[in-house]
């Protein structure tokens, strides 16, 4: 099973390449990648053509549009089924990624949060239609109706702003 780490966002609110933004002295992307590897799962990063992610296998998504569904569709077109996680989700654990990989069929770790989640190639028509409409991720989830595994909500927390990054740094001081 492949874990697709989605890193196609521009990171404009963080001032640059989000995946490489330092958190605890390591690039933000390092934590979900490490969790996937600790779960015994293969990793591929889905990123824009100009992304520099040394040492990681990269699957290039089209430059446009910039929508999180594009990375998901790109990953499913090349590797399916997949577990998808965002590069800015530092609290994802190996245990929950493994639980998603072992689940039979589409599933989310946390209710109403698209990532981390397990997605199947059979969902591609719905995902492509949602991408064409520029539908929100939550509206798309309602169409897909995946199972929910019941992970704690903080598992899906992401780092989108300088304030989120500062809060994550504080959390790391308490729980590395």
The two tokens of residue 33 are: 């990648």
**Percentage of the chain lying above the pLDDT 70 cut:** 95
pTM of the predicted model, to two decimals? Answer: 0.94
The two tokens of residue 133 are: 């409409």
The residues facing 108 across adjacent strands are 117, 148
Q: Which CATH architecture has domain 2-82+96-169?
A: Alpha-Beta Complex (3.90)
Closest CA to 110 of 119, 120, 100, 102: 100
Count other C-beta atoms under 10 Å from residue 1's C-beta.
18
pLDDT of residue 10: 65
54-65 pLDDT per residue, tens: 788 999 998 888
C-alpha to C-alpha distance for 49 and 35, rounded to whole angstroms: 25
Which one has a higher pLDDT value, 9 or 98? 98
C-alpha to C-alpha distance for 137 and 68, rounded to whole angstroms: 8
Closest CA to 68 of 154, 155, 3, 5: 5
Q: Is it the case that residue 116 has pLDDT exceeding 90?
A: yes
Query: How confident is the model over 139-149, as a mean pLDDT?
Result: 94
Q: Is 65 helix (H, G, I), strand (E, B) or coil?
A: coil
Q: Is it the case that residue 96 has pLDDT exceeding 90?
A: yes
Q: Is 133 helix (H, G, I), strand (E, B) or coil?
A: helix
pLDDT of residue 12: 62
Which one has a higher pLDDT value, 10 or 68? 68
At a CB cut-off of 8 Å and minimum separation 6, what does 95 contact?
A: 39
Q: Domains of the chain: which residue ranges?
A: 2-82+96-169
C-alpha to C-alpha distance for 132 and 146, rounded to whole angstroms: 21
7-20 pLDDT per residue, tens: 987 666 666 678 88
pLDDT of residue 5: 97
């Amino acid at each position: 099973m492949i874990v697709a780490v989605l890193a196609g966002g521009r990171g404009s609110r963080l001032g640059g390449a989000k995946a490489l933004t330092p958190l605890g002295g390591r690039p933000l992307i390092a934590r979900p990648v490490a969790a996937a590897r600790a779960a015994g799962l293969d990793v591929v990063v889905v990123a824009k053509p100009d992304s520099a992610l040394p040492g990681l296998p990269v699957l290039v998504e089209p430059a446009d549009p910039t929508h999180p569904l594009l990375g998901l569709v790109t990953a499913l077109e090349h590797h399916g089924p997949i577990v998808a996680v965002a590069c800015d989700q530092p609290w994802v654990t190996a245990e929950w990624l493994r639980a998603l990989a072992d689940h039979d069929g589409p599933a989310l770790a946390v209710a109403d949060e698209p990532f981390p989640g397990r997605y199947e190639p059979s969902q591609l028509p719905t995902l492509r239609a949602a991408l064409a409409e520029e539908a929100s991720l939550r509206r798309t989830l309602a169409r897909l109706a995946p199972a929910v595994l019941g992970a704690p909500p903080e598992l899906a927390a992401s780092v989108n702003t300088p304030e989120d990054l500062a809060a994550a740094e504080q959390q790391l001081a308490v729980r590395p």
